[in-house]
Structure 1
Amino acid sequence: MSNLAARLDRLPISSFHRNLLIIIGGGMFFDGFDNYLANSVLSILIEENWSTLHLNACFLSGTSLGMLLGSIMAGYLGDKHGRKSTYQINLLIFGFASIACALTPDMYWLIFFRFLTGIGLGAEIVVGYGLLSEFIPPTHRGRWGALMSFIGQFGLFFVTFTSWLIIPLAGWRTMFVIAGLGGLLVYIARKQLPESPRWLSRKGRKQEAEIIVSNIENKYYQGNLPIPNTDNHSSLYIKPKISIFEPRFRKRIFLGSLMMVVQSISIYGFVAWLPSLMVSQGISANVSLTITVLMTLGGPTGAVFAYCLTDKIGRKPAIILGSLLAALSGILYALSSSQLYATLCGFVTFSLIYYLVSVIQAGYIPELFPTDVRMRLSAICVICGRISSIIMPFFVVLLYNYGGILMVTSLIAILLCIQAIAVYSLGIETYNKSLESI
């Protein structure tokens, strides 16, 4: 039997890959929509005296705790029972839990159902990017990861814009209903999603894997394909089982975990807290939302830059450059003396943070680990980020009370510089390599 990995990697980009992107991306969009819903809703809850900064911190930490558990479940179930079944379960969880958030009588129940929502949100990220990487050929993997991230980051802009438009008219509860119904609709659409042939092959289900790959070749290419290049592909069938505890993974796990910690702190220390911090400074919730809408255009903008760069200059240079620039722009934002200058610097900082999300989370981390353990080891990295995001909301309040926004952004800038140094010294280049050869 010919090497299935080589056959998948030789496939030219076609409607199969585009359909796959739409199906997986739909979940990522509503995952991003639901995840970043807090940015807009929490400031409104403070203004309506429904919540406080402390309860908002509990809301964010509860979400992060749920996402932590969701990541653990997704890592285990994705490697053991398959990518597709795990992917469907998480949509049901965050779909129904989001609708329940809209029906809550007080902030305490909202925090509880938000915790349940977080379980579904955490699973989506672990499985989605990993599954996409197992279908996309090496020469396009970075760009298509960035495209997936673009869809998710557009959810950030869309939820902020929708909040600005809908919350004054229909209230904040409507936003949770939109997120929940969207997730359930994607659940229905995603039933046609194929299982990963790479995973099936490693589980000994060779016939199922062969059927999926053959169907793709016949349906989308009618057999008109180049000869598979097997030089850089080891067999998916004869390799012994891989353990997550092998020494060769330690450096990769450390680097991946560090990057996810820095990413989570950047997002929860700057992006998620921005509207609430502006309200605390005396800016009205509607004005803060307007400014944040403009800034969050940086989310999809960052993904576009990642799409343009990551498969041209390589993963390591892309991460190092983005980290240093994000550190600089974050400090400039904190030093801004006018709303216009702050909005401009905030837009640039948003762009660079989500540029890094597109390169690291969507592309680099899934590439670091082989098929047998990809979901579990990716989940370990994500879990480390989740733990930091559980702690970070309370730490932000302390830092803000002590030294204002400058203190918060200074911490983030230092961590971004540490990330750049770590990637330079510990990182491996994955650009244009088959997953089996990395």
Structure 2
Amino acid sequence: MCEDVMESKGALAKLERMPVSRWHWKTFWVVGFALQFNGILNSSGNSVLADLVDRGWSNNYWNAFFSSAMMVGFFVGSLVAGSLGDKIGRKKTYELCIVVFASASLVAAFAPGMVFLIVCRGLMGIGMGGGIVLGYGSFTEFIPAKSRGMWSARISLLGNLSPLIAAILAAILIPTLSWRAVFAVGSALSFVMLFVVHLRLDESPRWLINNGRVEEGIAIINKVARESGFEEVLSPDQVLEDDEELEPDDDTKLWDFFHGDLGRRTLVATATLVAMNLSLYTITQWVPTIFVNQGIDIKNSLQMSMIMMIGAPVGVYISTLIMDRFPRKILGAVLIVLVAVLGFIYANQTSRTAILLIGTVMIIVLYIYNSFSSAVYAPEVWPTKQKMRGLGIANSIGRVTAIVSPYLVAWLLTEFGVVAVFIVLGALLTLCAVILAVFGIETRGRTCEEMSLDSDQLSSTR
């Protein structure tokens, strides 16, 4: 397996020691903007649905099918792209994901009816769900461990600007053209990004070397070395000599991700992403409705929600400053508990000022955690050879939470009220925090090669 990589003084160790260079910045911008265009198509759905309802195309039931189709697509895309990413490479699979959601978006722009449009939205979800796994997952393989948390959080910051960009794009295009223009423009931007990814994004040298394609991997590492002024430029012969025990074959089966060492990683990554999906989709999607149920009129409800959501980019920005300063599993568990506690306090407020202040703080903490979970910790816990499959499985289970939680919230809100929603949410989040604190694997400052160690060995080394 990959245990020998950690001890070798070969190519991957040299890559880890190189300073951040133009190559790293280029990779950051390419992956970041690809994730952002992915997010724009994702976030544009609410605006599109509003126009469809206004034109008589849709109603509440069709809207639910439209949203559910995307989430089902996310579930499928996470699993399929995860498997392909480990098998045929990060870059090829990422390009395939962009082709899928860009093409589906283009076809959606010419949809003759709502059923056809829902099918297109499901196909978009497959590409977007896979793109999220590949984007965040592969980026962790490019950045040195000592600053990987900060850089991954920065990627999350770029991605989390997409809801704002989508809202601006929809505000310009829908009144003047219609919802079709949103999908057409989104598709065009995505195809442009596909061209950029194809020309400017390198395959992960870690994936190449771990899969026996040493010469290709070392060529990329040599390029990085030249750009960064690093003196130790290796030849393929030197790499083979240092890393001669690397085995390209990987016989990991699906069942292996649910027991033993990989099973522990699946449990931890899944709990991390379930907490993110549970809190993010419950709070951001239901806050306006909760306000209305508390007797606040719809106009003030929307205004208060908008003010609170200013905390989202603030939270992601703060995550870039603190991510590498604290042990990962402790930081994650504390953030989950904070969201749960703030949610309960928030639910018991009656003053609008208190609701706004506590709610905004809650959103800030939530988006720090959003950055931690999806961009940093969940992608980090996996060995290189199994990374995309493991991350895809964890993401797909997290998506199930996003599909189920709206129905749970609706039932709790109707039958028991706002406080019950946050009590149940807090209990579920606390369970996720306990799993992370007890079974979590510390990843801060550890290289991708170190993460190929058995998780028990990792726990005993720090």
- TM-score by length of structure 1 reads 0.88
Equivalent residue in structure 2 for 1:153, among 123, 139, 160? 160
CA distance in 2, matches of 1:199, 1:311: 24
Residue 256 to residue 25, structure 1, CA distance change in 2 (3 Å): same
The equivalent residue for 1:382 is 395
Residue correspondence of structure 1 range 2-401 to structure 2 within 5 A = 3-42=10-49, 50-163=57-170, 167=174, 170-191=177-198, 192-218=200-226, 220-224=227-231, 238-240=245-247, 241-242=249-250, 243=252, 245=256, 247-274=260-287, 291-337=304-350, 341-401=354-414
2:145 and 2:92 map into 1 onto residues whose CA distance is 25
Give unpaired runs (5+ residues) of structure 2.
1-7, 235-240, 452-462
What's the offset of the Cα at 1:176?
3.1
Q: Which residue number corresponds to residue 460 of structure 2?
A: none
Match of 2:436 among 423, 426, 429: 423
For residues 155-180 of structure 1, the C-alpha deviation after alignment (integer angstroms, 9 at most, x for no partner) is 12332454456655554444333432
> Following the alignment from structure 1 to structure 2, what is the Cα–Cα distance between the partners of residues 436 and 239?
12
**1:199–1:372 contact (8 Å) kept in structure 2:** yes
Distance 1:347 1:187 in 2: 36
Name the CA distance, whole Å, in 1 between partners of 2:410 and 2:62: 11
SS at match of 2:449: helix
For residues 49 and 356 of structure 1, the distance between their equivalents in structure 2, rounded to whole angstroms, comes to 39
SS in 1 for 2:445: coil
**8 Å CA contact 1:61, 1:393 repeated in 2:** no
Offset from partner CA, 1:128-180 (integer Å, 9 cap, x none): 11211111001011111100111111112332454456655554444333432
- Following the alignment from structure 2 to structure 1, what is the Cα–Cα distance between the partners of residues 324 and 140? 14
**1:5 and 1:32, CA in 2 relative to 1: closer, same or farther beyond 3 A?**
same
More displaced stretch, 253-262 vs 173-182? 173-182
Q: CA RMSD in A?
A: 3.0
1:214-241 superposed Cα distances (whole Å, 9 cap, x missing partner):
11111x12334699xxxxxx97652444
Displacement, 1:423?
Answer: 1.3
Look up the SS of the partner of 1:359 in the other structure: helix
Aligned length: 430
Taking structure 2 as the reference length, the TM-score comes to 0.84
Structure 1 gaps, min length 5: 228-233
Q: Residues 221, 288 of structure 1: CA spacing in aligned structure 2 closer, same or farther, 3 A cutoff?
A: same
Deviations 1:59-89 (A, max 9, x none): 2221111011111111111000000000001
Question: Residue 57 of structure 1 contacts residue 393 of structure 1 at CA under 8 Å; is this kept in 2?
Answer: no
Moved over 6 A (4+): 276-282
Q: How many percent identity over aligned positions? A: 31
Residue deviations 1:15-57 (CA, integer Å, cap 9, x gap) = 2111101000011112222222334444565566654444333
1:90 shift after superposition = 0.8
Q: Which SS does the other structure have where 1:435 is aligned? A: coil
Q: SS of the counterpart of 1:136?
A: coil
Please report how far the alpha carbon of residue 329 of structure 1 lies from its aligned counterpart in structure 2 after TM superposition.
2.6
Structure with max Cα Rg: 2
